[in-house]
């Protein structure tokens, strides 16, 4: 990196100002894992509280705060950022690009996400976290005393802006930045599902933005949206929230589907069965995701017509999901299946997710939903799809792409211990919760009375949660003890897609020469029909790269300062914060930065080292 | 424990829901069996064996198979969707003629002969039951006659609550500013547990209520005495209880009513002596009642009842108050 | 650098805003952004429609709205869209001077619109429509105010561009910037047409 501006500055400065999609991806990924650990700890605290009836381990108010934070953190600040980490790192590599379309916005998106997470968690130290559940139903949320819910509103608003930017960024990247020959229907499924995910983000998040705006206006600026006495309507919040919220659950599951569609073919050594059907199933799931939000509201009193329509629409989603499951099974059929840790998670996903999927159809049965709704049955269902789907996807991706991202392989032996403990703990925790729900245990209760036949299953559930916690510690240990496994990291799994055609760790310009893609699974095609290396689509030439910038950090910082101003209703702080943001945006707008060029000599030197 | 689980339905609504749950479960088990069979077969048959280095055939797809696994799920879903839609409409129809509709114009089989309307209002963290046609206000315990359709109009005074009696009927939400309704019937006498299922604050988990189903004759007595308590019933039975009434009138009547004396801010006390629990969850005995009055906040955080320390109600006064409250009964 | 050189009419590509990859990225991203904005305003419209009759004794649409004033505002904004179209036409012709002139005209019309809107809000507040008076009041001010904030941002954005590039001529770097700014301006114009219909016409008539 001889003429990169970053080389002379410190490492920290480099990471703060980086516009390299790989570094931003790693930042997202590691921050997400950290928040995952925090939210996981909160889950374990909740399960300790519920281990025995009438426990006083946490206290009701604290319990409600922890339950709110667990959900909010897991969805917005753990699962999504970890997927953003993968998307950032992998999408440009899979489509043969040197970066995303908007490196500057990419950096900004990260800082908005991080500051949003910090704002949310500062609430613990300023009189209490939000306590109205991650769904923050009005008027419980709009009347909640203290500042907790204000932190929820501003934290999500700030990070939501970043999420929206990242979504647009990925959409444009996929459409405009593909290498020659990489047509849409040759894109790896992970890129495809990330593309659909970004589409969902684009059309879902603005509804949340407005919901949060209304809540903020009601709580802080005297609005009357949710004030029934002034003609407000509290159900509006639920509609806005779920118009966002239901696509959100597909935002969480589609990237995982993408990861499984990479991992399963790789370890079965077979092309993905029914690629076209998989792509269209993904698109249909994404589309239907916007049509079914009210199935979260069957008990709100929308009337039988709405309930029936939304019930049938929801059931319809089972069809494309079923198509996907069978396509994965048929990909395995006739293959040569290797049971690596990455593949174990992908394989464990199939039965686990099917179990979560069938309870989804049961929940969609509106008349029966009156019994399921807001009980532990629902808790069991969505943990089956989120852990059995999204989290297994994350762990499959962790073991699969770790060598590409960090240049060393995680230990398979430790990984298998981790996998089995986590899998058993997961089923132990959540399988029994189906029954708890039907036996009369509502969700979100801080404790339960003795003598209701709920004690034994709750105890079992808590034991499962402990197992999952121990398993996660094994993963962390694995990360540290495996650091010497730096051999065979370029293409350790005999990969099929473009990211395995370049060295690990990946050079900052990704591809010395833009590759020419001749088939789906481009690298596999070259392995079977060529010399095992991607053909180049251009002569070796100097490469244009963007410069890093500190401005995104200040844009995000300014918005965070303004958020604190809003939370504590201080106009001076709001104005100062916005001034910082607008000044940084202004500088960005008037200062043209055309990046720098990587000379051929440097690229050649890198290639020599590689050999 | 009185009837809590939805898995053991005790009335037609819960039975309808249970049979729908069972139908969906059987269909889903069918799906699970098929998927798991293929899955296990594939994992065993196609696992990598030592020394195996063959490259599997790269199959693109199979139209016929894709058609099959698209259509069969659709058929299975229809099997579930149709009864569901029918049940959804059945459950939404309380059978009570809407206001303004001439009852004579209704189909005979649409109109329900015997029904009782109850307004259930959710408060943080207790339930108020009003019987508009009978002029009754009751707290925490929902008395109903057996074999009568109970039409519940759901309202809320502060935040959203949700009304659930697992063994009798699935839930509907109590939403401020909106009135929802649901109906159910209880063929058998008994006590059925009811719960709030929408997060409503710290003591959400303690917002329980009871449905007490009694035979229609007993219910008639109950209703009559609740509406206009008999002199014999309201008059304290002894000297201590008379003192207790005085304590009650000095301290409690601002929120709790006995008969039509007192305010409806808190739960109605007319039949307090017949409750099985205090504040929705504490076992009914004098010690618990005493502790509750002394410090409600520590037992049920976030509730609105103030604490009464010994300066307000002395221990002696407390004894007589409890005696008086114990005496508040309408069914004897 | 090539991108910074002013383009004379002779070497101008037919669509300077889409001539570079950066320009194409910006152009596409902006369309996506407007898609998200549509959901944003859709949510606000939905909220307003749900609450517009909840005046709770406070002043309501029929008491407040004067169509003549709103009609003038609509005309101003529609004209500003037209001037921005002229600006883009001149950009494609390579006539930098006229691009600036028409963009300045757009800015001035935008400021005029904002002036009327401030006057309108001030007037309503005087007639007793405080922000928190009723759910109708909150939803009205929030919907129309969010639009107003968009106009304000548009004015600031275009002004920044005009000052920054006052002497540069049309370049492959600034052409996409002007183009997306105009796209944005059209979008807030379209939103206003919906506000005019849903809020004002329906408010007075329905």
Q: Which among B118, B146, B152 is positioned nearest to B11, based on CA atoms?
A: B146
- As a whole number, mean pLDDT of residues B102-120 equals 68
Residue A167 belongs to what H/E stretch? helix A148-176
At A593, the pLDDT band (50, 70, 90 cuts) reads confident
Peptide bond into A482 cis (omega under 30): no
Nearest chain C residue (CA) to A585: C157
Residue C160 touches chain A, beta carbons under 8 Å: yes
3-state secondary structure of C3: helix
**Total length of chain A:** 611
In this structure, of A261-265, A296-300, B78-82, B224-228, the range with the lowest mean pLDDT score is B224-228
Q: Test C24 with A213 for CB contact under 8 angstroms.
A: no
Which of C26, C129, C134, C135 should be substituted to probe chain A, the one whose Cβ sees the most A Cβ atoms within 10 Å?
C135
To the nearest whole angstrom, how far is the Cα of A94 from the nearest Cα of chain B? 20
* Cβ within 8 Å of C, A 72-101: 101
Which residues have CB under 8 Å from B30's CB, separation 6+? B76
Whether the pLDDT of residue B109 is over 60: the answer is no
Tell me the residues of chain A between 234 and 253 that have a Cβ less than 8 Å away from chain C: 236, 239-240, 243
- In this complex, is the C-beta atom of A53 within 8 Å of any C-beta atom belonging to chain B? no
β-pairing, B141-145 vs B149-156, is unpaired
**Chain B residue numbers touching A519 (CB-CB < 8 A):** none
Residue of chain A minimizing CA distance to C132 = A223
A360-391 pLDDT, tens digit per residue, is 999 999 999 999 999 999 999 999 999 999 99
Q: How far is CA C151 from CA A38, A165, C77, C154, C174, in A?
A: 42, 21, 10, 5, 21
Using the Cβ of A586 and the Cβ atoms of chain C, whether some distance falls under 8 Å is answered with: yes
From chain A, pick out residues whose CB is under 8 angstroms from the CB of B122. Answer: none
Q: What is the pTM of this model?
A: 0.95
Q: What is the pLDDT of residue C2?
A: 46
Residue A558 vs residues A542, A574, B74, B100: alpha-carbon distances, Å:
37, 9, 52, 59
pLDDT value at residue A269? 95
Whether C29 and A102 lie within 8 Å, measured CB to CB: yes
Cβ-Cβ contacts under 8 Å for C206 (sequence gap 6 or more): none
Give the start-to-end residue ranges of the domains of chain C. 63-206
User: Considering only residues 454 to 513 of chain A, which have any Cβ-Cβ distance to chain C shorter than 8 Å?
Assistant: none
pLDDT one-digit tens code per residue, A535-578:
999 999 999 999 999 999 999 999 999 999 999 999 999 999 99
- The answer to whether residue A60 neighbours chain B at the CB level (below 8 Å) is yes
CA A85, A553, C25: angle at the middle one, nearest 5? Answer: 65
- Mutation pick from B11, B16, B59, B174 vs chain A, by most beta carbons of A within 10 Å, is B59
* pLDDT score at B183: 95
Neighboring chain A residues of B154 at a CB cutoff of 8 Å: 301
Q: Is residue B141 in a domain?
A: yes
Mark yes or no for CB contact A323/B173 under 8 Å.
no
Specify whether the CB–CB gap between A266 and A404 falls below 8 A: no
Hey, are the CB atoms on A140 and B81 less than 8 Å from each other? no
Is the CB of C39 inside 8 Å of chain A's CB atoms? yes
Interval B75-82 mean pLDDT: 95
- Predicted confidence at residue A578, as pLDDT, reads 96
Average pLDDT over all residues of chain C: 91
| Higher-confidence position of A470 and C57 | A470
Q: For residue B99, what pLDDT band results from cuts at 50, 70 and 90?
A: low
A160, pLDDT greater than 90: yes
- Regarding whether B191 and B136 lie in a shared domain, the answer is yes
Residue the block writes with tokens 């048929």? A330
Contact A452 B1 (CB under 8 A): yes
Per-residue pLDDT for A99 more than 60?
yes
Domains in chain B, number: 2
Q: Which CATH superfamily is domain A21-531+550-610 in?
A: Cytochrome c oxidase-like, subunit I domain (1.20.210.10)
> How far, CA to CA in Å, does B215 sit from each of B68, B121, B176, B190?
55, 24, 33, 10
User: Rounded distance, CA A154 to CA B21, Å?
Assistant: 41
How much of chain B exceeds pLDDT 70, in percent? 94
Q: Is A333 on the interface with B (CB under 8 A)?
A: yes
Chains that touch A (3 or more CB pairs under 8 A): B, C
Using a CB-CB distance cutoff of 8 angstroms, which residues of chain C are in contact with residue A177? Answer: 25
Asked whether the predicted pLDDT for residue A172 surpasses 70, the reply is yes
> What local confidence, expressed as pLDDT, does residue C48 receive?
97
3-class secondary structure for B164-213?
EECCCEEEEEECCCCCEEEEECCCCCEEEEEEECCCCCHHHHHCEEEEEE
Q: What's the CA gap between C187 and C40, in Å, rounded?
A: 12
Of chain A, the percentage scoring pLDDT greater than 70 comes to 98
Residues B71 and B205 in one domain: yes
CA distances from A491 to A94, A526, A566 (A): 14, 14, 50
Q: Is residue B173 part of a domain?
A: yes
Q: In this complex, which of B84, B175, B202 lies closest to A234 when CB atoms are compared?
A: B175
* Whether the predicted pLDDT of A109 surpasses 70: yes
Contact between A358 and B195 using a beta-carbon 8 Å cutoff: no
CATH of the domain at B150: 2.60.40.420
Whole-angstrom distance, CA of residue B256 vs CA of residue B270:
9
Place of tokens 């004897």: B332
Residue of A nearest to B203 (CA): A60
What pLDDT, on a 0 to 100 scale, did the predictor assign at position A480?
96
In chain B, residues with a C-beta closer than 8 Å to the C-beta of A379 are none
- The reply to whether A337 touches chain B by the CB within 8 Å rule is yes
pLDDT category, B230, cuts 50, 70, 90? confident
What is the CATH number assigned to the segment(s) C63-206?
1.20.120.80
Give the pLDDT score at A4. Answer: 46
pLDDT at B110 over 70: no
Report the pLDDT averaged over residues A479-489: 94
- CB-based contact A459:A471 (threshold 8 Å): no
From A335, A337, A351, residue closest to B36, measured CB to CB:
A351
State the chains in contact with B (3 or more Cβ–Cβ pairs under 8 Å).
Answer: A
The predicted pLDDT at position A5 comes to 45
Å from A566 to nearest chain B CA? Answer: 25
**Chain A interface includes C54 (CB < 8 A):** yes
Residues of chain A found within 8 Å of residue B296, distances taken between Cβ atoms: none
Residues of A with Cβ-Cβ distance to B46 under 8 angstroms = 268, 332-337
What DSSP letter does each residue of A208-251 carry, written as one string? HHHHHHHHHHHHHS---TT-GGGT--THHHHHHHHHHHHHHHHH
Per-residue pLDDT tens for A282-305? 999 999 999 999 999 999 999 999
Percent of chain C topping pLDDT 70: 94
Contacts of B260 (CB under 8 A, 6+ apart): none
The answer on pLDDT for A392 being more than 60 is yes
Residues B127, B281: Cα–Cα separation, whole Å: 12
Distance separating alpha carbons of residues A39 and A53, to the nearest angstrom: 23
DSSP string, B29-52: HHHHHHHHHHHHHHHHHTBPPTT-
Return the number of other C-beta atoms located less than 10 Å from residue C118's C-beta.
11
Q: What is the mean pLDDT of residues B307-323?
A: 93
> Minimal CA–CA distance to B123: which of B6, B257, B268, B276?
B268
Q: List Cα–Cα distances, C124 to A247, B307, C90, C141, in angstroms.
A: 38, 48, 41, 10
* Residue, of C17 and A58, whose pLDDT is higher: A58
Q: What is the pLDDT of residue A607?
A: 85
B301 and B169, same structural domain?
A: no
The parent domain of residue B259 ranges over 231-326
Q: How confident is the model at residue A2 (pLDDT cuts 50, 70, 90)?
A: very low
Written as tens digits, the pLDDT of chain C (206 aa) is 345 555 555 567 878 888 888 899 999 999 999 999 999 999 999 999 999 999 988 899 988 998 999 999 999 999 999 999 999 999 998 899 999 999 999 999 999 999 999 999 999 999 999 999 999 999 999 999 999 999 999 999 999 999 989 888 888 888 999 999 999 999 999 999 999 999 999 998 86
Which one of A202, A207, A211 has the shortest CB-CB distance to C32?
A202
Residues A491-513, mean pLDDT to the nearest whole number: 94
pLDDT tens digits, residue range C11-21? 678 788 888 88
- Asked, for residue B55, whether it belongs to a domain, the answer is no
Name which of A143, A176, A334, A164 is nearest A244 in CA terms. A164
Domain for residue B226, yes or no?
no
Q: Tell me the chain C residues in contact with residue A195 when contact means C-beta distances shorter than 8 Å.
A: none
Band the pLDDT of A594: cuts 50, 70, 90: confident
Whole-angstrom distance, CA of residue A255 vs CA of residue A235? 31
Task: Enumerate residues 278 to 307 of chain A having a beta carbon within 8 A of any beta carbon in chain B.
Answer: 299-301, 303-304, 307
**Mean pLDDT across the stretch A525-531?**
93
């Amino acid at each position: 990196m001889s003429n990169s501006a970053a080389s002379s500055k410190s490492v920290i400065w480099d990471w703060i100002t980086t516009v390299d999609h790989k570094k931003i991806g790693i930042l997202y990924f590691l921050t997400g894992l950290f928040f995952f650990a925090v939210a996981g700890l909160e889950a374990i605290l909740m399960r300790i509280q519920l281990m025995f009836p009438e426990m006083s381990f946490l206290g009701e108010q604290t319990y409600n705060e922890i339950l709110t934070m667990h959900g909010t953190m897991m969805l917005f600040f753990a699962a999504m950022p970890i997927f953003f980490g993968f998307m950032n790192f992998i999408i440009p590599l899979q489509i043969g690009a040197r970066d995303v379309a908007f490196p500057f916005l990419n950096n900004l998106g990260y800082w908005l996400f991080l500051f949003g997470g910090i704002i949310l968690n500062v609430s613990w130290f300023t009189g209490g976290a939000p306590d109205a559940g991650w769904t923050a139903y009005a008027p419980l949320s709009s009347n909640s005393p203290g500042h907790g819910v204000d932190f929820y509103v501003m934290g999500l608003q700030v990070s939501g802006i970043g999420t929206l930017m990242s979504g647009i960024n990925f959409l444009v990247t996929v459409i405009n930045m593909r290498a020659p020959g990489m047509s849409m229907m040759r894109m790896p499924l992970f890129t495809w599902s990330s593309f659909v995910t970004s589409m969902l983000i684009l059309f879902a998040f603005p509804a949340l933005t407005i919901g949060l705006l209304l809540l903020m206006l009601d709580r802080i600026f005297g609005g009357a949206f949710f004030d029934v006495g002034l003609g407000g309507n509290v159900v509006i919040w639920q509609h806005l929230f779920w118009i966002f919220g239901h696509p959100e659950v597909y935002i969480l599951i589609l990237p995982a589907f993408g990861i499984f569609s990479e991992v399963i073919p790789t370890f079965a050594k077979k092309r993905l069965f029914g690629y076209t059907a998989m792509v269209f199933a993904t698109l249909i799931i994404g589309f239907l995701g916007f049509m079914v939000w009210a199935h979260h509201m069957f008990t709100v009193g929308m009337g039988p017509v709405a309930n029936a329509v939304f019930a049938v629409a929801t059931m319809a989603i089972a069809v494309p999901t079923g198509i996907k499951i069978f396509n994965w099974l048929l990909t395995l059929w006739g293959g040569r299946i290797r049971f690596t840790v990455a593949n174990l998670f992908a394989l464990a996903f199939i039965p686990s997710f099917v179990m979560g999927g069938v309870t989804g159809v049961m929940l969609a049965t509106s008349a029966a939903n009156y019994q399921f709704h807001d009980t532990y049955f629902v808790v069991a269902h969505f943990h089956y799809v989120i852990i059995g789907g999204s989290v297994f996807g994350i762990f499959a991706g962790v073991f699969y792409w770790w060598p590409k991202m960090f240049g060393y392989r995680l230990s398979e032996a430790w990984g298998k211990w981790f996998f089995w403990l986590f899998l058993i703990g997961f089923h132990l925790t959540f399988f029994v919760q189906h029954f708890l729900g039907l036996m009369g245990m509502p969700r979100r209760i801080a404790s339960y009375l003795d003598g209701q036949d709920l004690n034994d299953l709750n105890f079992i559930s808590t034991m499962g949660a402990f197992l999952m916690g121990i398993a996660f510690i094994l993963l962390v240990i694995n990360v540290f003890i495996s650091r010497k496994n730096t051999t065979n990291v370029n293409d350790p799994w005999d990969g099929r897609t473009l990211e395995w055609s370049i060295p690990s760790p990946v050079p900052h310009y990704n591809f010395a020469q833009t590759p020419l893609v001749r088939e789906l699974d481009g690298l596999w095609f070259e392995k079977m029909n060529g010399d095992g290396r991607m053909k180049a689509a251009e002569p070796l030439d100097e490469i244009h790269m963007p410069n890093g910038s500190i401005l995104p950090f200040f844009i995000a910082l300014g918005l965070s300062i303004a958020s604190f101003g809003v939370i504590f209703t201080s106009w001076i702080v709001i104005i100062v914060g916005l001034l910082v943001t607008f000044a940084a945006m202004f500088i960005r707008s008037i200062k043209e930065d055309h990046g720098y060029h990587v000379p051929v000599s440097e690229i050649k030197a890198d290639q020599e080292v590689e050999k | 424990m009185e009837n809590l689980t939805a898995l053991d339905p005790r009335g037609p609504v819960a039975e309808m829901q249970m049979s729908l749950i069972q139908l969906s479960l059987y269909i889903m088990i069918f799906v699970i069996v098929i998927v798991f069979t293929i899955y296990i077969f594939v994992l065993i048959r196609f696992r990598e064996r030592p020394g195996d280095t063959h490259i599997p055939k790269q199959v693109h797809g199979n139209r016929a198979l894709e058609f099959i696994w698209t259509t069969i799920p659709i058929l299975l879903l229809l099997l579930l969707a149709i009864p569901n839609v029918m049940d959804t409409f059945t459950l939404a129809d309380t059978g009570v003629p809407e206001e303004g509709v001439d009852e004579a114009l209704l189909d005979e089989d649409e109109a329900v002969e015997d029904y009782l309307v109850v307004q259930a209002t959710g408060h943080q963290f207790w339930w108020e039951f009003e019987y508009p046609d009978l002029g009754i206000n009751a707290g925490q315990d929902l008395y109903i006659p057996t074999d009568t359709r109970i039409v519940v109009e759901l309202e809320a005074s502060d935040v959203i609550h949700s009304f659930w009696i697992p063994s009798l009927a699935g839930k509907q939400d109590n939403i401020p500013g909106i009135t929802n309704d649901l109906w159910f019937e209880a063929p058998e006498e008994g006590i059925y547990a009811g719960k709030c299922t929408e997060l409503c604050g710290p003591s959400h988990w303690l917002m329980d209520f009871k449905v007490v189903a009694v035979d229609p004759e007993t219910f008639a007595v109950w209703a009559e005495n609740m509406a206009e308590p008999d002199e014999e019933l309201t008059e304290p039975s002894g000297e201590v209880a008379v003192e207790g009434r005085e304590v009650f009138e000095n301290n409690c009547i601002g929120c709790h009513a006995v008969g039509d004396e007192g305010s409806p801010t808190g739960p109605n006390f007319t039949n307090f002596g017949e409750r099985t629990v205090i504040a929705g969850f504490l076992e009914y005995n004098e010690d618990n009642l005493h502790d509750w009055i002394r410090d409600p906040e520590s037992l049920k955080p976030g509730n609105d009842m103030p604490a009464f320390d010994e300066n307000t109600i002395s221990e002696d006064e407390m004894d007589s108050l409890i005696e008086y409250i114990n005496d508040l009964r309408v069914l004897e | 650098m090539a991108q910074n050189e002013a383009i004379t009419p002779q070497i101008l590509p037919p669509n300077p805003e889409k001539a570079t990859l950066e320009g194409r990225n910006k152009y596409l991203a902006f369309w996506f952004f407007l898609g998200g904005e549509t959901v944003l305003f859709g949510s606000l419209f939905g909220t307003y429609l749900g609450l517009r009759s909840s005046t709770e004794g406070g002043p309501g649409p029929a008491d407040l709205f004067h169509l003549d004033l709103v009609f003038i505002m609509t005309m101003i904004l529609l004209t500003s869209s037209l001037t921005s179209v002229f600006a883009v036409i001149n950009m494609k012709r390579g006539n930098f001077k006229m691009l600036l002139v028409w963009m300045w005209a757009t800015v001035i019309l935008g400021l005029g619109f904002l002036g009327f809107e401030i006057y309108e809000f001030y007037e309503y507040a005087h007639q007793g429509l405080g922000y928190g008076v009723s759910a109708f009041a909150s939803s009205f001010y929030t919907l129309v105010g969010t639009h107003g904030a968009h106009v304000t941002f548009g004015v600031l954005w275009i002004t920044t561009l005009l000052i920054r590039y006052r002497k540069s001529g049309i370049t492959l770097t600034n052409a996409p910037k002007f183009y997306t700014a105009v796209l944005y301006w059209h979008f807030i114009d379209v939103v206003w047409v919906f506000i005019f219909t849903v809020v004002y016409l329906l408010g007075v008539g329905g």
